[in-house]
Amino acid sequence: MERGPSAQEIIEGETGEIDPLLHEIDLPSPHPYLNLALMLYESALRSSSTSVRFTLLMNGMEALLSAGGAETSYSTSRNVAVLLATPDDPPKEIFTKMMALFRKRGVLLIGQAEAKASRRVGEEDVEYLKSLLGRGIVRAHRLGLDKNALLGLLNRSGF
């Protein structure tokens, strides 16, 4: 089987901005959700618009960790928290931040010009999401599970 390009080859010239562990991922992955999440991540890195970068990264997070359904913001935030929690970044803190980012996305899509500054998308939001999505892609890749198996594992491991 022919080996696909590495993530480093896909994300040309962005090596200083991404988690170096992303370079271990060969594309295409056998898991379509990982391919989509990585393509959205890469597209976000190439955009110069904060709003577009934020939207692409949020979509990437959903592609990676959403089960779909009515409570997408809750389930995705919870899955991000379970997958990426560390002693320095506990799950409840990640969950709270992700829920706030989903609210900001709603404000952005409706029109954030009228929103309070605290509800507008900022560069710090983009950087936080970029870090989370990069780490999430790497962890999901290392687990080597299809999306249903990954979501099942996260559900059994949840807080």
What is the average per-residue pLDDT within 123-146? 93
Residue 51 in this model has a pLDDT that exceeds 80: yes
The CA distances from residue 135 to 48, 108, 157, in Å, are 22, 25, 18
Query: So what's the pLDDT on residue 68?
Result: 83
Q: What pLDDT, on a 0 to 100 scale, did the predictor assign at position 70?
A: 74
Q: Tell me how far apart the alpha carbons of residues 52 and 9 are, in angstroms, rounded to a whole number.
A: 23
Name the residue with tokens 């979509």.
Answer: 59
Average pLDDT over every residue of 84-111? 90
pLDDT of residue 153: 94
pLDDT at position 137: 93
Query: Residue 136: what pLDDT?
Result: 93
| pTM listed for this prediction | 0.82
How far apart are alpha carbons 52 and 59 in whole angstroms?
A: 10
Q: What is the pLDDT of residue 29?
A: 84
d(CA 103, CA 105): 5
